[in-house]
Chain A
Amino acid sequence: AQSVTQPDARVTVSEGASLQLRCKYSYSGTPYLFWYVQYPRQGLQLLLKYYSGDPVVQGVNGFEAEFIKSNSSFHLRKASVHWSDSAVYFCAVRNTGYQNFYFGKGTSLTVIP
């Protein structure tokens, strides 16, 4: 069965610092992988996605993620965070032929100015 684990429920970093949010997935086939961001009182917005090809994918607002198949990981990174990046970030996996998404529990990011 598919599952997504985000081991860090909360992360706090200072503005300008680098960031890594961890995501590990469990999936038997070839997954489609996603990172979404949820700002307070808003819906989810897609940050980036991985379907195939280059394992490092670029997203919006300077975010990137790397798919490491051997480690079943899809960590999200940003070189220098801004206070406006404070939000909840969700990692998700989807079956290539099935439409259902499976989300991790999310990581709440707080960026201290």
Chain B
Amino acid sequence: SVLLYQKPNRDICQSGTSLKIQCVADSQVVSMFWYQQFQEQSLMLMATANEGSEATYESGFTKDKFPISRPNLTFSTLTVNNARPGDSSIYFCSSLGGADAEQFFGPGTRLTVL
């Protein structure tokens, strides 16, 4: 299995500011994924990040708004630029691991934009 840690657990920021969410894995993983979850909604895949390459974004998510770094095989950072109240949600990082390539999730970062 893979253990994923996220920092911060929660954040409150003002509209127009930027914030970073960090994700650390306890072992090396090829791909890290970032998901967005609005309250009482499903998880939406935002992007896939592989080490040393540009993240691949899903429809509705852009590099300018949500830049992602993946400097090594255990770390990734999601930035939320020009945060708006509509960005208020929980952000999860995720990766595959184990013999069956199961998907593991971090505990999430709850973001509130005022």
Number of residue pairs A-B, CB distance < 8 angstroms: 50
Nearest chain-B residue to A34 (Cβ)? B103
- Interface SS of B by simple majority: strand
Q: Could you tell me how many residues of chain A have their Cβ less than 8 Å away from some Cβ of chain B?
A: 22
Complex: A92 Cα to B94 Cα, angstroms: 14
Determine whether B40 belongs to the interface, using a CB cutoff of 8 Å to chain A.
yes
- Would you list which residues of chain B between 13 and 47 have a CB under 8 Å from chain A? 31, 33, 40-45
Return the contact of B106 from the options A34, A43, A94, A102 (Cβ within 8 A): A43
Complex: A108 Cα to B96 Cα, angstroms: 25
Instruction: Give min CB distance, A46 to chain B, whole Å.
Output: 6
Return the contact of A99 from the options B33, B92, B107 (Cβ within 8 A): B33
Return the contact of B103 from the options A41, A101, A106, A108 (Cβ within 8 A): A101
Nearest chain-B residue to A9 (Cβ)? B40
Determine whether B64 belongs to the interface, using a CB cutoff of 8 Å to chain A.
no
Complex: A109 Cα to B40 Cα, angstroms: 12
- Would you list which residues of chain A between 66 and 113 have a CB under 8 Å from chain B? 90, 92, 94, 99-106, 108
Contacting pair A105 B41 (CB below 8 A):
yes
Contacting pair B45 A49 (CB below 8 A):
no
Contacting pair B42 A104 (CB below 8 A):
yes
Contacting pair B45 A44 (CB below 8 A):
no
Interface-central residue, A41, A51, A92, by most chain B CB under 10 Å: A41
Q: Given A42-B107, A46-B102, A49-B102: A99 and B96 within 8 A (CB)? A: yes
Contact partners of B33 in chain A: CB under 8 A = 99-101
Instruction: Give min CB distance, B44 to chain A, whole Å.
Output: 8
Return the contact of A101 from the options B4, B45, B100, B110 (Cβ within 8 A): B45
Contacting pair A46 B42 (CB below 8 A):
no
Q: List 28 A-B contacts (CB under 8 A).
A: A34-B103, A36-B105, A41-B108, A43-B106, A43-B107, A43-B108, A44-B105, A46-B102, A46-B103, A46-B104, A49-B102, A90-B42, A90-B43, A92-B103, A99-B96, A100-B33, A100-B48, A101-B33, A101-B45, A101-B103, A103-B42, A103-B43, A104-B42, A105-B41, A105-B42, A106-B40, A106-B41, A106-B42
